[in-house]
């Protein structure tokens, strides 16, 4: 028997459903970003060493991003597959997926903890820690490593709450951790005089509480899918398809640090520190402005997956088209602000006239194709929602690894203005990626809808 959330995924108005799912998801994204910013603000205000400590913690970010990406590897493939199984009415398989993914998250956490503790120093040196910042980076990373299990469970299992339609509960998971972290930060950093160690301790305690919140919910009475002991044993027939589907979000998240290094090294070579500063502002704007798109896709994924599993092609199509319209409307609005009022963004991050001037010029190049983001994000996430692992992985690799990173280094060889050439890599990669994604989606989505229609007609004839 399906609970209220499951019934609504298959029957409630798509518009109302997407709104009710997307708003908490967007809110959770913003909360998460804001509390990370507050965390860094506290560190930056540590007496005498704040700036150095903040830089040191910044060096750990690529490693932390990879740790988070492993949670996505398991959950962002497992959660859509569990929604598809719920749509098919196969609760047992959906719970097997949840159980297998829970065990996988625990095993990955153990491996990551050991790797970071053993090789963390070498990793930090590779990511640019200096003699001055190394101590702070290592102090933060060592304590954070011990909380890897909490991070994996909080991030990974929360996706299974959203997959069932409990968007508000999923948002509260983030909110509980964020509020606790903001409260504990000043207590540990300044009250106990622990510095960056205090910031790391506050983070892992907060993530630990979030993890307990998630586990309590997924073993309680309100959830449709429960974590059950009998499904915790790894079954590779269940787990491997989840991992395959999760490869796309894993690649997208884990390559962010590589992309940042590529942009910064190329810009430093051709334009110096100001160009790197402009890129820092642009990446910050991009990160924040993408949150609504991420929230929209997170809200739409359970709707598309559930109705795909239940064989309702009409609702799958309606959900995708609404997601596309909403995402495209947002990305066009974002593009318009970036093109006509770039100073709005640039002025938030700096008051230095020269840096603002460079940033304004760079933004008009860098975000020239940002109006297409809505198409790219909607199609790519829908592939994941439909369980199309191979296509999802290809598209994830295409934009960043095949197109963008090579273009960052190739374009300056052919264009006179080397700095503009680096920034130009972004819109060129976007346009090519969107074109290929759109063509692939148009052909494959038609096949999916046709298949669902054929199956529905066969079932009707059988009845």
Gap between the Cα atoms of 85 and 272, Å rounded:
53
HEC secondary structure over 211-275? HHHHHHHHCCCCCCCCCCHHHCCCCHHHHHHHHHHHHHHHHHHHCHHHHHHHHHHHHHHHHCHHH
CB 428 within 8 A of CB 365: no
- From CA 97, how far away is CA 159, in angstroms rounded? 12
- Return the domain boundaries, the chain: 27-254, 293-462
> Rounded CA gap, 76 and 163, in Å?
10
How far is it, in rounded angstroms, from Cα 55 to Cα 395?
33
CA distance 306 to 81: 9
For residue 460, the model assigns a pLDDT of: 67
Which pLDDT value is given to residue 229?
95
Count each helix (H run) and each strand (E run) in the chain, helices first. 19, 0
CA-CA distance, 234 to 106, in Å (whole number)?
12
Cα separation, 218 vs 227, in Å, equals 6
Q: What angle do CA 259, 263, 265 make, to 5 degrees?
A: 115
Virtual torsion, Cα 265, 271, 274, 279, nearest 10 deg:
-50
Query: What count of other Cβ atoms lies within 10 Å of the Cβ of residue 83?
Result: 31
Give the Cα separation of 189 and 197 in Å (integer).
7
463 residues of the chain, pLDDT tens digit each: 455 555 688 888 999 999 999 999 899 888 887 777 777 778 888 888 887 888 788 788 888 889 999 999 999 999 999 999 999 999 999 999 999 999 999 999 999 999 999 999 998 888 777 788 889 999 999 999 999 999 999 999 999 999 999 999 999 999 999 999 999 999 999 999 999 999 999 999 999 999 999 999 999 999 999 999 999 999 999 999 999 999 999 998 888 878 887 888 888 889 888 888 888 788 878 877 888 998 999 999 999 999 999 999 999 999 999 999 999 999 999 999 999 998 887 777 667 788 889 889 999 999 999 999 999 999 999 999 999 999 989 988 999 899 999 999 999 999 999 999 999 999 999 999 999 999 999 999 999 999 888 887 777 666 5
Question: Which CB contacts under 8 angstroms, 24+ apart, belong to 456-463?
Answer: 456/311, 456/313, 459/311
Residue found by looking up tokens 């300044």 in the block = 190
What is the number of residues in the chain? 463
**Residues 6 or more apart whose Cβ sits within 8 Å of residue 16:** none
What does the angle CA 72 – CA 384 – CA 446 come to, to the nearest 5 degrees?
A: 175
- CA-nearest of 308, 222, 319, 316 to 16 is 319
pLDDT of residue 1: 45
Tokens of 314: 């009409």
Q: Among all chains, which residue has been given the structure tokens 């150095």?
A: 52
Q: Find the radius of gyration of the CA atoms of the chain.
A: 22
Mind giving me the DSSP string for 396-457? HHIIIIIIIHHHHHHGGGT-SSHHHHHHHHHHHHHHHHHHHHHHHHHHHHHHHHHHHHHHHH
- pTM attached to this predicted model: 0.88
């Amino acid at each position: 028997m399906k609970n209220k959330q499951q019934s609504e995924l298959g029957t409630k108005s798509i518009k109302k459903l997407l709104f009710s799912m997307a708003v908490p998801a967007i809110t959770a994204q913003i909360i998460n970003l804001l509390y990370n910013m507050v965390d860094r603000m506290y560190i930056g205000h540590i007496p005498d060493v704040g700036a150095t400590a903040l830089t040191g913690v910044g060096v750990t970010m690529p490693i932390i991003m990879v740790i988070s990406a492993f949670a996505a590897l398991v959950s962002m493939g497992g959660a859509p597959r569990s929604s598809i199984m719920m749509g098919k009415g196969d609760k047992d398989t959906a719970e097997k997926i949840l159980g297998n993914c829970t065990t996988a998250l625990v095993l990955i956490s153990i491996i990551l903890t050991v790797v970071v503790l053993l090789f963390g120093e070498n990793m930090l040196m590779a990511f640019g820690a200096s003699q001055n910042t190394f101590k702070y980076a290592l102090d933060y990373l060592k304590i954070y490593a011990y909380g890897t299990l909490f991070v994996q469970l909080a991030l990974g299992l929360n996706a299974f709450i959203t997959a069932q339609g409990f968007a508000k509960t999923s948002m509260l998971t983030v909110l509980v951790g964020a509020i606790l972290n903001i409260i504990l930060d000043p207590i540990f950093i300044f009250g106990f005089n622990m510095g960056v160690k205090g910031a790391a301790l506050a983070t892992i305690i907060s993530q630990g509480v979030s993890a307990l919140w998630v586990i309590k919910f997924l073993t309680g009475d309100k959830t449709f899918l429960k974590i059950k002991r009998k499904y915790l044993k790894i079954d590779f027939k269940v787990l491997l398809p989840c991992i395959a589907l999760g490869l796309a979000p894993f690649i997208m998240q884990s390559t962010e640090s590589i992309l940042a290094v590529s942009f910064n090294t190329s810009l430093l070579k051709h334009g110096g520190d100001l160009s790197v500063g402009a890129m820092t502002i642009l990446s910050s704007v991009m990160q924040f402005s993408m949150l609504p798109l991420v929230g929209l896709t997170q809200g739409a994924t359970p709707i598309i997956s559930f109705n795909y599993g239940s064989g309702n092609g009409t609702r799958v199509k309606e959900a995708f088209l609404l997601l596309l319209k909403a995402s495209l409307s947002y990305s066009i609005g974002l593009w318009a602000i970036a093109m006509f009022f770039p100073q709005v963004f640039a002025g938030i991050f700096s008051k230095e006239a020269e840096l603002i001037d460079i940033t304004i010029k760079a933004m008009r190049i860098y975000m020239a194709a940002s109006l297409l983001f809505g198409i790219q994000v909607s199609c790519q996430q829908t592939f994941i929602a439909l369980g199309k692992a191979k296509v999802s992985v290809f598209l994830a690799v295409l934009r960043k690894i095949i197109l963008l990173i090579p273009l960052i280094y190739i374009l300056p060889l052919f264009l006179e203005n080397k700095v503009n050439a680096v920034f130009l890599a972004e819109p060129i990669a976007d346009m090519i990626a969107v074109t290929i994604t759109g063509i692939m989606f148009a052909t494959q989505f038609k096949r999916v809808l046709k298949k669902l229609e054929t199956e529905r007609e066969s079932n009707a004839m059988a009845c």
